[in-house]
Amino acid sequence: MTKVKARRLILEADSSTESSVDASQGCHTLEEEAELEVETVVREKDGPLEKDIQTSEKRYSAGMKRRATRKEKGKNIMTDEGTQERNQVPLAEAKVATTNVVVEKEKQLRETEAKYEVLRRRLAEDVEMCRSSEKTCESLRADIEVTICATVDLRDRLEASRVTFNEESRRVYELSEDLEKKDQVHATELAAKEKALRECEVARTPDMELIEVLEAKCNEMRSQRLLAKDQLNEMEVNL
């Protein structure tokens, strides 16, 4: 934008000078000097743009040639000193106007430079922010790679665990089938034993009745024995 601004300043200075020349051919010299001053100010303010404003300088040279031709024609026309004296007032006005233009352009240049300084600082901040963002992105990229590696490792472990689980499940299923078969065998054996036990209990019932009778007789005989023993003791005491 600085290049465009410099070109615009030169073109505006050229246009203002040409309008003054058309108004009065006697003020060519001062206007040309003012244009040179404008060009010098622009070059001093933005020295690195000299290569970029070569086009404007070529236009300025062409304008100078046209104005030189007009100046020669003016010299042929202005033959008396009275006309030159009448042109002194436009010369002074043109000089003041040109000076005002130069001051205004310098002010615009200073404002533009201040704006560019602010933009430069913002650009530096943006560059620093971009560098910080790049570092953050690098860190995130590294974290993502680590996460991917960890995910692959976990997936491999999960696959190994799944294979182991399937193998263990198959073994558990086989053991469950074996236990079920053994339970069936045990149930059959238990049913047979329960049947034999019931048969034994049925066969044992008469024996139990006989045992009860015998126990009753034994108890009776035991009572009689005790009674006889007591009587014997009494007899011994009496003797």
pLDDT digits (tens, 9 = 90+) for 164-211: 999 988 898 888 888 888 888 888 888 888 888 888 777 777 767 777
pLDDT at 64: 54
pLDDT over 70, % of the chain: 59
The span from the CA of 238 to the CA of 204, in Å, is 51
pLDDT-derived band at 126 (thresholds 50, 70, 90) equals: confident
The span from the CA of 157 to the CA of 149, in Å, is 12
Overall average pLDDT of the 29-40 stretch? 51
**For residue 198, how many other CB atoms are within 10 A of its CB?**
10
- Domains of the chain, residue spans: 2-134
Helix (H) or strand (E) holding 28: helix 28-45
The span from the CA of 131 to the CA of 181, in Å, is 74
What's the one-letter identity of residue 65? K
Lowest-confidence region among 5-9, 68-72, 149-153, 193-197? 5-9
What's the one-letter identity of residue 113? E
The span from the CA of 207 to the CA of 202, in Å, is 10
Q: Is the pLDDT of residue 213 over 70?
A: yes
pLDDT over 90, % of the chain: 8
pLDDT at 210: 76
Overall average pLDDT of the 148-175 stretch? 90
Lowest-confidence region among 103-112, 149-158, 173-182, 226-235? 226-235
For residue 213, give both structure tokens: 């009778």
* Residue 136: C-alpha distances to residues 20, 139, 141, 142, 172 (Å): 61, 5, 8, 10, 52
